[in-house]
Structure 1
Amino acid sequence: MHFTRPRELLIAGLLGLVGGFLLFEFAYDSIPRLPRPAGATLGVLAIIEVVLAFGVRSRIRAGRVHSAIAIARAVALAKASSLLGALMTGFWVGSIGFLAPNADRLTAASRDLTSALIGAVCAVVLIGAALWLEHCCRAPEPRDSDRPTGATD
C-alpha cells in the first residue's frame, strides 16, 4: 500500500462535487432537511485520528512498536479517512454550490446551508487529521552511525 497521493484526493473530491451538486439539483425537493450533526460526525472522526496519530508517533519514536499490523491498520484507516474526507468535501461544496444561490428564495435552502458549511469544514479537518496520522505512521529516517550526534556538513 502506498501513501495517499494528492491526485487521489482531487479525484475523490471532484466525484463528490459532481455527485452532491447533481443530487441537490435534481432531488432537493424530496431530500429531508439536513441535520447539523450530519457533517459534524466527520469532525469527531478527525479528533479521534489526531489522538491516535500522537499515540502512534510517540510509540514509533520511542521504539515501542510491538505490532507492525497495528501501524498498518492505522495507515489503512488514515488512507480511507482522507479519501472519505475528500469525497465529502466535494459533496458538501457541491451542495453549497446549489444552496447558496437558492438561499434567498428558499427558506429550507438557507437553513440547510449552515449544515452544509459545517459539513464542509469538518470534512476538510478530517483530511488534515488523516494525512497527519498517515505521516505519523512513517518509519523514522535512519541516522548516520558514522557521524557523531550534532555534527554538521
Structure 2
Amino acid sequence: MGVTRKRDLAGAVAATAVAGYLLMFVLYRVFPPITLWTGMSLLGVAVALAGWAFFVRSKIRDGQIGLGGGRLHPLAVARSVVIAKAAAWMGSVVLGWWLAVVVYLLPRRGSLRVAAEDTPGAVVAALCALALVIAAMWLQHCCTSPDDPSQNADPAPG
C-alpha cells in the first residue's frame, strides 16, 4: 500500500467541487440552515486522528513497536494507515463539497439573506474538512518507519 498522493487528493477536491457547485443550483433551496456547528464533527475526528498520530509517532521513535507490554502492536499501525488513507480521501471529498457551497454562497450574500446567514457555517465546515485531510496525512506520515541508518551509510569497500 503506497502513500496517498497529495495531487490525487487535490483532484478529488476539484472534481467534487465542480460537481457540488452544479448541484447547488438545484439543491440550495431545499437545504436546511448551515450553522457554525454543521462541520464541527469533522474537527472532532481531525483532533482524534492528530492525537493518535502523535502517540504512534512517539512509540515508533522510541522503538516500542512489536508484541509485549506497553508496545504498540504492528497491526495497530497498519490499521492506522488504513484509517488515515480513508479519512484523507473522505476529507478531500467533503472539502470539495464545502468549497463548492462557499463559492456558490459568496456572490449571493448581498441578494439572498439566507446565503449571508449560511456562509460562515460553510466556511467553518470547509476549514474543518481541511483539518481532517491534514490530520489524516499527518497520521499516515507518522506511521512510516524511521530510516534505517545502515541504508544511508557508504558501502564497505571490497
Query: TM-score w.r.t. structure 2 length?
Result: 0.86
CA RMSD of aligned residues (A): 1.7
Q: Does 1:91 align with 2:108?
A: no
Asked if structure 1 preserves the Cα contact closer than 8 Å seen for 2:35 and 2:120, the reply is no
Alignment of 1:18-97 (within 5 A): 18-66=18-66, 67-97=73-103
1:15 aligns with 2:21: no
The number of residue pairs the alignment matches comes to 147
Equivalence for 2:120 = 114
Question: Aligned residues: percent identity?
Answer: 35
Task: Give 4+ residue runs of structure 1 displaced > 3 Å after superposition.
Answer: none
Residue aligning to 1:150? none
State the alpha-carbon separation in 1 of the partners of residues 111 and 119 from structure 2.
13
The residue matched to 2:149 in structure 1 has which SS?
A: coil
User: Gapped runs of 5+ residues in structure 2?
Assistant: 67-72, 154-158
The structure-2 alpha-carbon separation of the partners of 1:24 and 1:144, relative to structure 1 and needing over 3 Å to count, comes to same
* In 2, Cα distance between equivalents of 1:134 and 1:52: 11
Provide the C-alpha distance between the structure 2 equivalents of 1:73 and 1:8, rounded to a whole number of angstroms. Answer: 21
TM-score normalised to structure 1 length: 0.89
CA contact (8 A) 2:14 2:96 kept: yes
* Inter-partner Cα distance in structure 2 for 1:21 and 1:42: 21
Q: Structure 1 residues 105-114 or 13-22, which shifts more? A: 13-22
Counterpart of 1:53, as a letter, is A
Per-residue CA deviation, residues 11-59 of structure 1 (Å, 9 max, x unaligned), is 2102220232122111111111123222111111111011000100111
